[in-house]
A and B are shown apart, each in its own frame.
Chain A
Amino acid sequence: MSADRLSLTLAALADPTRRAILARLAGGEASVKQLAAPFAISLPAVSRHLKVLEKAGLIAKGHKAQWRPCRLEAAPLQEVAGWIDGYRRFWDESFDRLDTYLQQLQQVKSDEKH
């Protein structure tokens, strides 16, 4: 995935409706009408969200069936998952190291007192 694509994918994930659509598609492919059913928004509005997701490479539309079902695209999601994991790991592991380092420092200090 190119660098620009990652920004595009992240921006597409910023919207809660689009994330709900992706969650629905994680359960299997669906038509636009099926995807629109749980939302209190119009069919064209759902189509606009789908366009953003498609442009970001997060979904694809089938060509075979008449109803052109939408499905999740795995690759960009995996990229985003890896990227998010990296950010989380930065802080988790930094704080792990801080914890260990603080224990070492305080151990030395208490040894000096004795």
Chain B
Amino acid sequence: MKSTDAGGDESAFVITRVVDAPRELVWRMYTQADHLKNWFGPKGFPMTHCSMDLRVGGMFHYCLQMPGGGSEMWGRWIFRAIEPPRRLVTVTSFSDAEGGVTRHPLAPGWPLHMLGETLFDDEADGKTRITVTTTALDASEAEIATFKGGFASMTQGWSGTFQQFSDYLATLK
């Protein structure tokens, strides 16, 4: 099953997924280093650093190794709200190995901080719906435009257009 995007509001990016486990267990997957190491990040990006300080103001600090021994990708969450087992609010940023905030490695115009709210809702048959809503935090107008452009490109109204692009690009190959 693929994750789904809720289109519409382009200042927020929403991604949801239903997993087959009760939310108390899903909550632990999100908040314990030993579990996060086993799933957080795309396939082939092993987590080589993972520290978790689960308290308001505390930090989840991680490093993903790019495939083929490539460069490292550091990131961090600072916890703003911790309401087990239903809501987690984090300030999400790219980071260096020391935990300092850094710019987006590919798009320096991207907002420095993003606010992430993750909700865990009960679904039928002991399943859990995970909903992640991401917005730009304390961003300049230009940074918000970069953020919206990136995420607008993924929302529903835009994906039809995007298909047209793909078709068009295919004709050029």
Name A's B-contacting residues (CB within 8 A): 3-4, 6-14, 16, 19-20, 22-23, 26-27, 72, 74, 77-78, 80-81, 83-84, 87-103, 105-106
Contacts and interface: CB of A to CB of B under 8 A. Distances in A.
A27 B164 contact: yes
B28 to A, nearest CB: 9
A102 B42 contact: no
A16 B157 CA distance: 10
B142 A11 contact: yes
Interface residues of B, number: 48
A87 B149 contact: no
A22 B161 contact: yes
A92 B165 contact: no
A74 B164 contact: no
B148 interface: yes
A9 B107 CA distance: 10
B61 to A, nearest CB: 17
Contacts, number: 132
Interface of B: 2-3, 10, 15, 17, 19-21, 25-26, 29, 35, 38-43, 105-110, 130, 132, 142, 144-150, 152-154, 157-158, 161-162, 164-169, 172
Nearest to B172: A74
B108 A3 contact: yes
B55 to A, nearest CB: 23
A49 to B, nearest CB: 13
A4 B110 CA distance: 10
A83 B150 contact: yes
Contacts of B169: 74, 77-78, 81
Contact of A94 (B26, B41, B165): B41
Given A10-B149, A78-B169, A101-B29, A88 B21 contact: no
A67 to B, nearest CB: 21
Most buried by A among B130, B168, B172: B168
Nearest to B11: A14
Given A13-B149, A84-B150, A106 B21 contact: yes
Q: Which of A7, A13, A74, A103 has the most CB of B within 10 A?
A: A7
Contacts of A93: 41-43
A95 B164 contact: no
B161 A26 contact: yes
B153 A80 contact: yes
Nearest to A80: B153
A6 B29 CA distance: 34
A14 B149 contact: yes
